[in-house]
Structure 1
Amino acid sequence: MTETAYPEVLVVGGGSVGLLTAALLVHHGVRAALVERRAGPSVHPRATGIGPRTVEVLCELGLDAAVDAVAVDLRGSAGKAVARTVVEMGAGDVVTVPMPVPSTTELDVTPFRLRGVCAQDRLDAVVADDLARRGADLRWSTRLVGLAQDADGVDVELDGPDGRYSVRCGYLVAADGAHSTVRTALGIGTSGAGDLGKSMINILFRADLRPHLRGMSFATCTITTPDAPGLLVTVDGETNWVFHVDAGERPEDFTPERCAAVVRTAVGDPDLDVEVRSVLPWRPRSALADHFTEGRVFLVGDAAHTVSPLGAFGLNTGVADAHNLAWKLAAVHHGEAGAALLDTYAQEREPVAAATVDQAMRRQSDPALHWGRGPEADAARAAAGVWAAPVVHLGQRYDSAAVVDPRPELPSTVDLVLDGSPGSRVPHAWVDGVSTLDLVASRWTLLAGGHWLTAAAEVGLPAHRVAVPWLPEEGAVLVRPDGIVAMRTTTPSPDPARFLAGVLDQVLARTPVGTPGRG
């Protein structure tokens, strides 16, 4: 059969990035459907590092409190630990690195933080539940088996619980992972190092480790016993855990029984009651799609870029893709922008993703380049071309037609600089107790002083008076729905309403106007 009331956007892939893509589209008023071959959200955590920009996106969606509620509170705990076994760790034979405490400078950058780590399965459950409450079209146990596109839409063949059927949609977003079916069907190649290092086994298990930990808590612990070396990762800090081990020559030999024995050895308790919930073979990978768009199809997340794990950049880069794309699809769908706005997705995200893949790879050979602190670590990073992690997460800048006079060069790779430059994330500042990030509220917003506020009202722009060091009283910044500065002027305009209307026409690809005069 062929559906008649088809979705405007079809999202393929029900992992974190796919779910958040659907959530952002629904948030912007777009009729979207999501298809996923699994029967529901994954129960197997693949990542726990939710970065600051992703937390800001969750705040925008109103999901930050729900995600924080299922995060593990690790304040005052060890971020990283090293011990021979869990039993010996609890006995005090352990080396730890404390969880970092946000500095005053870091809190000046973003006020939104989780209290600890949140495993990806918990994040997915929160987003999926919220989508279901909103009546979103979630099609589990459904896989894409064919697609074709023309100038007006995309025809997709799906195989679901009731058999095969076809759907026509306006656009398709591929969030279907590193081995993307959509990317393969489109013939889009990849470049990069590919598979890295040894194959690994990710063991999700349930066991009460609290008696052995004796009050200790941590995000990750490197287990060094020669009989079962690996990385133990917190899921809930009590009874749910992940253990990563070398798969050796035959990953298929890791039966649930063998995995339970490996866990007991790593814990140091041969009588431990272990329930192996899931076993997932995996291998670190680094790859970048040759291009992120093909007609009406867009690649996001691992379908566009697979980021090696050190640095926790992978999931967060995918969420940034979704955040960049969703408002643009919505603007075109609602008739607020020309179709050329969609070209800026690849213009903006491809360079940022390439830089992120590169930064993760530079850390791959020496974890100290990421975790090290102090002057010696700073010098080592500089010599290796490694940027500070906050710069990777929050400091990268866009250069596209959706930004007036972009300034893509990074002022610093050591310190995060958010100064209101076009193409950068708008700086956080408190305005009557509300962050500028909240003032944007998923819409075009003017932050300004003086005569700009009246002009903004004339062209239908929400506007807020701000007094901040990075914006003179007579200046203004126009902020996109994704929190990116689209335009900054530091001087008054003789006709501010006309000026703002011209800027909006330009960045939304509505008319072929020239760049308005700027101060």
Structure 2
Amino acid sequence: MGDTKPVDVLIVGGGPVGLALAGDLGARGVSCALFEKTDGAIRQPKMDGISNRTMEFCRRWGVAEKAKTFPFPADHPNDMVYLTGFDGYELGRESFVRPSGGAELSGAEVSPEPRLRCPQNFFDLILRDFARSHGARVSLNYECEVTAVAQDGEGVSLTCRDNRSGESVERRGRYLVACDGGGSFVREAMGIGMTGLGFLNYSTNVLIRCSDLIARTHILPGYRFFFVGEEGVWATCSHINGQDIWRVQIFGGSEACKPAPEEVEAKIRRAFGAGIEFEILDILPWQRKELLADRYRAGRIFLAGDAAHITSPTGGFGMNTGIADAVDLSWKLTAVLQGWGGPALLDSYEAERRPVGFRAIREASGNLYRTLSVGEVPGLLAQTPEGARLRARVGRTYAATMLREWYKNGIDLGYVYRNSPICVAEEEAEPGPGRGARAEGDPTFLREWQRLVVHEANGTPLKLDWRELPVAEVMLFSQSAEPGARAPHLWLGDGRSTLDHLGGGFVLFVLGPGGTGTAAFERAAAERRIPLDIVRIVEPAVCELYRRKLVLIRPDGHVAWRGDDCGGADGAQALRILERATGA
């Protein structure tokens, strides 16, 4: 089991969230030990979509280009296709050049990085290499199952069993982060409950190898296919590598047990059509749920990823929300361990991330209901004029309904820590969704507006037991530098993004040609040993978007404060701002 000396942070769970946390802590000079009960191999990837925000973290970590090397063909359409079967009728389609809709090709992108297709079995290896690149600071322990956790006033102890040798070892750390999934052992051991909609449905994922499907169907290529029968939507199929690997997801069932192979094969033949040869690689039955941890913290123990929020994969929010949890928690743990973070800093983790987790899981549940919104449609397959009219109507309505899931930058990038105890709020509100910097002359933004109008005009309104976010808040996204928001991306004259200056310690953007003084901030940061870089930017577009002469940005890339000056020469206001931002 390797080294048993104490570390700063213990991490339970070696999926993408745990690996991202280990890598980010290691990059910040923090020692950590990760424990994963399996061998780490991914036999059926549960995710294959990386959001813009996660790709921005990958950019900072130096691994974005590695993720882009996954062999999903660059010219393969990422279309969402609605059909009765590969040997049946295409009902509708939403076309995409890339998962992000091609914005990065138009020069109108809101992020320096695109959304990406990169399944977990490939992405985990990238994150594992990143974590290991920090040498002895990061210890990855596979086939080591945590069997007990206890904490005291000085730290946390865990007992883990080496599943290969049967040996049990105790490890000690100052803090512990549970990244051990929806069935989290640590969460249960801490007695932290979960609330939410609970069980949503049974589903079965089937991983398939099929090399000639696209060549033998009249349906044009795409990324994800939704199968609609007279009973409604009954399955989906994703083209995992754009070549020969597919994942079919079958909805329904009455028990969380593995369906018989012949039943699975029959479902696939219904979707693919007769005469298509395929090989079933793996069958994974699972229960779709929506749950949120009642607390994200118990003393020195924190929850992140699926241990904190369990969500339907509709929208791709699970892993991406979890990695953002890890980035938020990483810099805060670092600050406390290095002595420049105050006692309120770690409390802000739950205050900031739990509302974001709820927002994501509830949006995902709404997306599931949109996926299943077709309902029963007798006569859908009839080869008659009436059947053709019915298929046209169903396809048009369903395609419009699903648009909210595909245009979702408001969820991925638009969360704002408005009530955070460590952000200095403003009295003046920023413009709402649909107004602001992107509203004029931006072709990508105009496309989002057009898809929003189609969704509202032709989509099926859902009758839900909760009030959803306003659709414009999800489908439209205007960048903002208000406190609590992700600092906006714009390209600078040297070819770098504004985001390329962020991610280490705090950064103070000094905007405009006026030469606003920063001495008060620099003295205050030195007094509190807070890492602070000064970045001067004169590009008019950046100054216009950030709206103030001074913008203080946190290590996770979120704005802590902005203003036109930092108060008097005594530096008292600058010190108060930095103390607030570091939880003093």
CA distance in 2 between partners of 1:311 and 1:113 (Å)? 16
Give the equivalent residue in structure 2 for 1:101: 102
1:331 aligns with 2:340: no
The equivalences for 1:454-473 within 5 A come to: 454-458=519-523, 459=525, 461-467=532-538, 468-471=543-546
How far has the Cα of 1:442 moved from its partner? Answer: 2.7
Give the equivalent residue in structure 1 for 2:463: none
The equivalences for 1:58-69 within 5 A come to: 58-69=58-69
Between 1:318-327 and 1:202-211, the stretch displaced more is: 202-211
The equivalences for 1:337-486 within 5 A come to: 337-367=341-371, 389-398=408-417, 399-405=419-425, 411-412=432-433, 414=472, 415-432=476-493, 433-449=495-511, 450-458=515-523, 459=525, 461-467=532-538, 468-471=543-546, 475-486=549-560
Task: Structure 2 unaligned segments of length 5 or more: list them.
Answer: 374-396, 434-469, 527-531
CA distance in 2 between partners of 1:406 and 1:297 (Å)? 32
CA distance in 2 between partners of 1:457 and 1:254 (Å)? 63
How far has the Cα of 1:244 moved from its partner? Answer: 0.9
Secondary structure of the residue that 2:103 maps to in structure 1?
A: coil
Secondary structure of the residue that 2:129 maps to in structure 1?
A: helix
CA contact (8 A) 1:48 1:117 kept: yes
Give the equivalent residue in structure 1 for 2:387: none
How far has the Cα of 1:191 moved from its partner? Answer: 0.7
Which letter does structure 1 place at the counterpart of 2:180? Answer: D
The equivalences for 1:212-227 within 5 A come to: 212=216, 216-224=220-228
**Which deviations, in whole Å up to 9, do the C-alpha atoms of 1:315-373 show, x marking residues without a partner?**
2211111111011111111122123311110111112222222222333322499xxxx
CA distance in 2 between partners of 1:326 and 1:43 (Å)? 29
CA distance in 2 between partners of 1:304 and 1:34 (Å)? 18
CA distance in 2 between partners of 1:111 and 1:213 (Å)? 37
Give the equivalent residue in structure 2 for 1:514: none
CA contact (8 A) 1:14 1:41 kept: no
Which letter does structure 2 place at the counterpart of 1:294? Answer: A
- Identical-pair percentage: 29
The equivalences for 1:237-316 within 5 A come to: 237-246=242-251, 248-249=253-254, 252-255=257-260, 259-260=264-265, 262-270=267-275, 272-274=277-279, 276-316=280-320
Secondary structure of the residue that 1:447 maps to in structure 2?
A: strand
**Which deviations, in whole Å up to 9, do the C-alpha atoms of 1:169-189 show, x marking residues without a partner?**
111111111111111111111
From the superposition, tell whether residues 130 and 175 of structure 1 become closer, same or farther in structure 2 (CA, over 3 Å): same
CA distance in 2 between partners of 1:465 and 1:368 (Å)? 51
CA distance in 2 between partners of 1:224 and 1:490 (Å)? 56
CA distance in 1 between partners of 2:428 and 2:265 (Å)? 50
How far has the Cα of 1:101 moved from its partner? Answer: 2.5
1:503 aligns with 2:561: no
The equivalences for 1:192-207 within 5 A come to: 192-197=196-201, 199-207=202-210
Give the equivalent residue in structure 2 for 1:25: 25
From the superposition, tell whether residues 164 and 98 of structure 1 become closer, same or farther in structure 2 (CA, over 3 Å): same
Give the equivalent residue in structure 2 for 1:208: 211
Give the equivalent residue in structure 2 for 1:34: 34
CA distance in 2 between partners of 1:253 and 1:335 (Å)? 51
CA contact (8 A) 1:15 1:41 kept: no
Give the equivalent residue in structure 1 for 2:447: none
CA contact (8 A) 2:5 2:171 kept: no
Give the equivalent residue in structure 1 for 2:563: 489
CA distance in 2 between partners of 1:434 and 1:171 (Å)? 36
CA distance in 2 between partners of 1:6 and 1:184 (Å)? 24
CA contact (8 A) 1:36 1:142 kept: yes
Secondary structure of the residue that 2:350 maps to in structure 1?
A: helix
Give the equivalent residue in structure 2 for 1:126: 126
CA contact (8 A) 2:47 2:120 kept: yes
Provide the alpha-carbon RMSD of the alignment: 3.4
Between 1:280-289 and 1:400-409, the stretch displaced more is: 400-409
CA contact (8 A) 1:2 1:167 kept: no
CA contact (8 A) 2:222 2:239 kept: yes
**Which deviations, in whole Å up to 9, do the C-alpha atoms of 1:415-468 show, x marking residues without a partner?**
323321111111112233221111113321000142334555554621111241
Which letter does structure 2 place at the counterpart of 1:452? Answer: G
From the superposition, tell whether residues 430 and 138 of structure 1 become closer, same or farther in structure 2 (CA, over 3 Å): same
CA contact (8 A) 1:143 1:158 kept: yes
Which letter does structure 2 place at the counterpart of 1:113? Answer: P
Secondary structure of the residue that 2:560 maps to in structure 1?
A: strand
CA contact (8 A) 1:479 1:487 kept: yes
Secondary structure of the residue that 1:122 maps to in structure 2?
A: helix
How far has the Cα of 1:253 moved from its partner? Answer: 4.9
CA contact (8 A) 1:74 1:218 kept: no
Give the equivalent residue in structure 2 for 1:159: 161
**Which deviations, in whole Å up to 9, do the C-alpha atoms of 1:46-65 show, x marking residues without a partner?**
12222111111111111111
How far has the Cα of 1:3 moved from its partner? Answer: 6.5
**Which deviations, in whole Å up to 9, do the C-alpha atoms of 1:88-118 show, x marking residues without a partner?**
37xx85742211232799934212114x422
CA contact (8 A) 1:203 1:279 kept: yes
Secondary structure of the residue that 2:25 maps to in structure 1?
A: helix
From the superposition, tell whether residues 409 and 359 of structure 1 become closer, same or farther in structure 2 (CA, over 3 Å): farther
CA distance in 2 between partners of 1:257 and 1:137 (Å)? 44
CA distance in 1 between partners of 2:276 and 2:554 (Å)? 57
From the superposition, tell whether residues 107 and 137 of structure 1 become closer, same or farther in structure 2 (CA, over 3 Å): farther
CA distance in 2 between partners of 1:394 and 1:42 (Å)? 28
CA distance in 2 between partners of 1:98 and 1:105 (Å)? 16
Secondary structure of the residue that 1:452 maps to in structure 2?
A: coil
How far has the Cα of 1:33 moved from its partner? Answer: 1.4
CA distance in 1 between partners of 2:400 and 2:569 (Å)? 50
CA contact (8 A) 1:408 1:423 kept: no
How far has the Cα of 1:388 moved from its partner? Answer: 6.6
**Which deviations, in whole Å up to 9, do the C-alpha atoms of 1:364-386 show, x marking residues without a partner?**
322499xxxxxx999989xx9x9
Which letter does structure 2 place at the counterpart of 1:193? Answer: L
**Which deviations, in whole Å up to 9, do the C-alpha atoms of 1:213-260 show, x marking residues without a partner?**
589432211234789952111211111121111352455453556545
